[in-house]
Amino acid sequence: MKKWIWIIASGVTAIAAVNVQAQELSDMQQCLLDEMNSTKAETTIADVRSKCEEKLRSADDEDIVEVDAVEEPGALTNRMKREQITQFDPYVLTPHRRNYLLPFISSNNINRLRYADVEGYQENLEDHEAKFQVSFKIPFNREGFLFEDDQLFFGLTIQSWWQLYSSNISKPFRETNYMPELFYATSTGWHPFGTNTALVFGVEHLSNGRSQPLSRSWNRGYMQFVVEKDRFVFSLKPWLRFQEDPKTDPMQSSGDDNPNITDYVGDYEFTTAYNDGDFEYILRLRHAIDTGRGSAELNWTFPIGGKFIGYTSIFTGYGESLIDYNHKQTRFGIGIALNNIL
């Protein structure tokens, strides 16, 4: 009961104040059209877009001032504005979470015991492997859905752990997690202490797509409260699990694969992010109210040139993947990413 009261109370508090400020897409579209009609032939599209973004930031038009509600847009708002330019382009997939490849990620305690029933796996799993994530979102509405600048999205995130260095078992994909979600983001004009704030409501399905005894899955609903100030973003995301029927036989396909998963992966997630223009730092903490378990993750990106950015990740605790939800380990990885969060 304590857990439910805490989560409901945090939700009621957050609902009172919501807003990530987003510029009307039509303003940007009109500016792009005007500039392309009047610009010189040698001017690039990137130059035109940059000029329009600067115009919209400095515009004193009354409607734009009302949208930004006096406060300056921060790093997350600016990302949203850039996404709005292309999110309905049929040749563009808009990033949701980070898209990355870690060709090397090590573990101080790889979960060999979980694969005891799979011939050859337990004794041949390596402590180091590769990991990648693909994540995108698709908007449903061009104009406001319920309010002027809210949006409804479908998102999909896929994470995979690849035993790239395990030659004795033919380099298998040890674990793959799928997370489709439906989420709604809305905004208001509330700016406590000079910040912008926002709420996101969503439902997520998390599954590793495996059969028994390795099947893991669960469903949850969440509310995410976001606070933005300049280059900083803070986020609190409590969730409630949708309960499933218990299993009478561990090998049956229906029923709850992991009844105690929130005791390990937590009941909420706190994230703080900072982007100085070249480097981005993200700290993510998860905590289980009843057991005190959870995890901590620190990510850092840095420029390396071209389309790619350098990416490092340190994780410690429970639930790095679904198969490892009740297994504690510390992991370090380094690789490349295609996009930042801010």
| 174-190 pLDDT tens trace | 999 999 999 999 887 78
Q: For residue 111, give the nearest of 167, 175, 157 by alpha carbon.
A: 175
DSSP state of 194: G
What tokens appear for 305 in the block? 């040139």
pTM over 0.75, yes/no = yes
Within 10 angstroms of residue 258's Cβ, the number of other Cβ atoms is 19
Say if residue 69's pLDDT is above 60: no
Q: For residue 325, give the nearest of 181, 239, 216 by alpha carbon.
A: 216
135 is catalytic: no
pLDDT at 59: 55
pLDDT at 107: 98
pLDDT at 42: 63
Query: Residue range 135-140: average pLDDT?
Result: 97
Q: Is 166 annotated as a binding residue?
A: no
pLDDT at 2: 47
Q: Is 215 annotated as a binding residue?
A: yes
Lowest mean pLDDT segment, chosen from 141-145, 161-165, 177-181, 183-187 = 141-145
Q: Which of 58, 205, 235, 327 is catalytic?
A: 205
Sign (positive or negative) of CA dihedral 203, 207, 211, 214: negative
Say if residue 26's pLDDT is above 70: no
Tell me how far apart the alpha carbons of residues 311 and 308 are, in angstroms, rounded to a whole number.
Answer: 9
Burial class of residue 328 in the structure, from the number of CB atoms within 10 Å of its CB (0-12 exposed, 13-18 middle, 19+ buried): middle
Say if residue 63's pLDDT is above 50: no
Q: Which amino acid is at 156?
A: L
Lowest mean pLDDT segment, chosen from 11-15, 51-55, 115-119, 237-241 = 11-15
DSSP string computed for 223-273: EEEEEEETTEEEEEEEEEEPP-PPPSSTT-SSS-S-TTTHHHH-SEEEEEE
pLDDT at 65: 34
C-alpha distances (whole Å) from 185 to each of 127, 145, 226, 318 are 39, 10, 10, 29
Q: Is 235 annotated as a binding residue?
A: no
Helices (H) and strands (E) in the chain, counts: 7, 13
Residue with tokens 């997939």: 93
pLDDT at 67: 37
- For residue 152, the cross-strand partners are 184
Say if residue 39's pLDDT is above 70: no
Query: Residue range 280-292: average pLDDT?
Result: 98
Half-sphere exposure of 22 (CA within 13 A, CB side): 26
Tell me how far apart the alpha carbons of residues 124 and 206 are, in angstroms, rounded to a whole number.
Answer: 27
Query: Residue range 279-298: average pLDDT?
Result: 98
Q: Which of 96, 207, 217, 254 is catalytic?
A: 207
Q: Which amino acid is at 67?
A: V
Q: Is 324 annotated as a binding residue?
A: no
Half-sphere exposure of 298 (CA within 13 A, CB side): 4
Q: How confident is the model at residue 36 (pLDDT cuts 50, 70, 90)?
A: low
Q: How confident is the model at residue 66 (pLDDT cuts 50, 70, 90)?
A: very low
Q: How confident is the model at residue 263 (pLDDT cuts 50, 70, 90)?
A: very high
pLDDT at 37: 65
Q: How confident is the model at residue 41 (pLDDT cuts 50, 70, 90)?
A: low
Instruction: List, for residues 200-216, the tens digit of each pLDDT value.
Output: 999 999 999 998 899 99
191 is catalytic: no
Tell me the pLDDT of the chain averaged across its residues: 87
In the chain the beta strands, taken as DSSP E runs, fall at 94-95, 100-107, 128-139, 151-162, 173-186, 196-207, 217-229, 232-241, 268-275, 280-287, 294-303, 309-318, 328-337
Q: How confident is the model at residue 13 (pLDDT cuts 50, 70, 90)?
A: very low
Say if residue 17's pLDDT is above 70: no
CA Rg value for the chain: 22
Strands 232-241 and 309-318: what pairing?
Answer: unpaired
